[in-house]
Every structure is written in structure tokens, then in C-alpha cells.
Amino acid sequence: MSINTNSVVIIVLSAILMACCGNVSVSNQKIMTDRSLPSQIDCIVDGAKKYCAPISKPGFIQVLQSENDSLIWEKEIYKQIMDSTLEHDVQIVYIQSISLQNKYLLITNEIGSSFCLNLSDCQITKLKNGSKSCQKY
């Protein structure tokens, strides 16, 4: 029996992706997950600090040094709640936007939840539906 090397590679890659990303499908020799990653949002530079929402860590904010991108600190803004009966990759909730409001960072995720991160003490406040301001915190 002859083994097609390409088929073996595709089967192995499918198994690896299923282990870390949930269900995958193989179509025309290409492996596809059920959801593509969203675009990386721009970091906000404020003096010597840069505030970022990395795609690699959904739900987290990282603060970097502007001059060399070294990590100063990071904070989990919200937890990723997963249902084991559903595909993992389609349940991940990414940060959609960040904006600087005085001493706060306003963070909105792709399902519309908004949070204020106090940059002085790292406290997080979840805003009521529809609110887009950190003014009263």
C-alpha cells in the first residue's frame, strides 16, 4: 500500500489544529478553522507608554514601553467563558476597540460589552449596556 505524503501531513495538521483550536475541515488540500482572527487594533501611545489589546491574548490589555515595546504590565479585562460542547475558536471574545479617557482606558469587546480600566490603580469597572464613557469612575 502506498502512502501519500501530502495526505499524511494534512491529517497530522488537522489533528494538531483540532487539539488546540476546535473542529477543522479539510477542503481542497487546505486546512481551515471555522473562524478567522479579527484584525489587530492599533495601540494607543501616550508618552512613554503604549496600550495594546493583543490578538494573541483575547480579553487582555498590555502596557508596553513606547521606545522598545518591552512589557511593563498586563491585565485581564474579562474572562473567556467556554462551553466544552461548542467549538473553542468561535467562542473567543476579542477586544474590538480601546480609547484613552483621562486616566482611564475604555475597552469595548466584539459583543458590545464595555469596561473602564483605571490606569492609576488597575481597577476594572464594567459599564452598563450602551455606556461609552469612563467619566463618572
Look at residue 24 in the predicted model and tell me its pLDDT.
Answer: 46
pLDDT in tens, the chain (137 residues): 455 554 444 454 455 545 544 444 444 444 445 667 888 999 999 999 999 999 999 999 999 999 999 999 999 999 998 888 888 778 899 999 999 999 999 999 999 999 999 999 999 999 997 788 997 76
Single pTM value for the model: 0.71
Residues sharing a CB contact under 8 Å with residue 79, sequence separation 6 or more, in sequence order: 59
SS (H, E, C) the chain: CCCCHHHHHHHHHHHHHHHHHCCEEEECCEEEECCCCCCCCCCEEECCEEEECCCCCCCEEEEEECCCCCEEEEEECCCCCCCCCCCCCCCCCCEEEEEEECCEEEEEECCCCEEEEECCCCCEEECCCCCCCCCCC
So where are the chain's domains? 1-33, 44-126
* Domain with residues 44-126, CATH architecture: Beta Barrel (2.40)
Look at residue 13 in the predicted model and tell me its pLDDT.
Answer: 45
Look at residue 87 in the predicted model and tell me its pLDDT.
Answer: 80
Look at residue 90 in the predicted model and tell me its pLDDT.
Answer: 80
HSE-up of residue 126 (Cα within 13 Å, Cβ side): 9
- The residue assigned the cell 508618552 is 47
Look at residue 3 in the predicted model and tell me its pLDDT.
Answer: 54
| CA 93/CA 111 separation, integer angstroms | 7
Look at residue 89 in the predicted model and tell me its pLDDT.
Answer: 76
